[in-house]
Amino acid sequence: MAARSEFAEFLIARRARLRPEDVGLPVGRRRRTPGLRREEVAALAGVSADYLARLEQGRDTNPSTSVLGALADALRLNDVERHHFVKLALGDRHTGGCPSSAAPDEVPDTLRAVLDALDPTPAFVVGRHLNVLAWNTAWRDFVEPLGFFDAEVRGDLARYFFAHPGARRWTDWEATADMITSRLRLSRSLWAEDEDLAAAVADLQGIPEFACRWEEHRMSDFRTGTMHLDHPLRGVVEIEFETLDPAADQSVQVWFLDRHARKPNLRVVNE
């Protein structure tokens, strides 16, 4: 039920972000509230305004796949947003049961062996709320000058990026912040009963730049991509990253600091 409530929130937030000109509608007079009217989105999707109201209010929790596709088109969702949108709508109907609410803290020896084998390529293990659980020497040496191991960070990747001044060395901070928020959105949809995860998100919502992204339900691809950084010791660095099993309790993220270097043969498991 929590995931479906988030589905309703997603609908409302995405409707508020669209402008008439985004969907080919005349701008017309000044509007009282931002975004498209419910009637406009309903017309674009080919559904009734009353039905869209029931979805947004959580009174209808079983939209068909054709309706989901039409709404995704009307809301101009990209591929990442569309995938997340459908997962929220389906909830736990196709998961075979609810995932465990308890997040494991102990990193298995097999994952630690993966980190060691990847060294000198920086790599680390991250938990549900982007709490870093283990890392290899190369990753520690790379992030330590950036302040990641400072006491106020508490080993939390999201807290580092939104609250630590060292994160502003990422020259594409805005895009990185969107990826961090997207990763937490996935976690909340998968582990709605995880109290530690809920507390971590609530804590971050005290930071305006996170709260804005969270309320707008921004989604971007967080599984693989490129980041750019002005490192205090290494100068300008381009980081290509890949995430192994991003929907797991514990996932491995690998940072390739030299884009021309030969990469290990990694199998990336999508959401």
Write out pLDDT tens, residues 249-270: 899 999 999 744 344 444 444 4
Average pLDDT, the chain: 85
154 compared with 33, residue with greater pLDDT: 154
Q: Would the pLDDT of 92 be above 70? A: no
Same domain, 119 and 158: yes
Contact 159, 150 (CB under 8 A): no
Answer whether residue 265 is part of any domain: no
**Structure-token pair, residue 259:** 């884009």
184 compared with 97, residue with greater pLDDT: 184
Answer whether residue 193 is part of any domain: yes
CATH number of residue 16's parent domain? 1.10.260.40
Q: What is the CA radius of gyration of the chain?
A: 20
Same domain, 201 and 82: no
In 3D space, the residue among 21, 73, 22, 25 whose CA is nearest the CA of residue 47 turns out to be 73
Q: Which helix (H) or strand (E) holds 237?
A: strand 235-244
Name the least confident of 60-64, 105-109, 129-133, 179-183: 60-64
pLDDT value for 81: 84
Same domain, 120 and 61: no
Q: Does residue 120 have a cis bond before it (omega within 30 degrees)?
A: yes
DSSP state of 66: H
Answer whether residue 47 is part of any domain: yes
Q: Does residue 165 have a cis bond before it (omega within 30 degrees)?
A: no
Residue with token string 């971590």: 200
pLDDT value for 102: 63
Q: Work out the pLDDT band at 166, boundaries 50, 70, 90.
A: very high
Report d(CA 216, CA 149) in Å as an integer. Answer: 30
Give the strands of the sheet with 123-126, arranged side by side. Answer: 132-135, 123-126, 251-256, 235-244, 224-231
Residue range of the domain that includes 42: 2-90
Tally the domains of the chain.
Answer: 2
Same domain, 70 and 136: no
Same domain, 132 and 237: yes
pLDDT value for 259: 46
Residue with token string 């960070």: 153
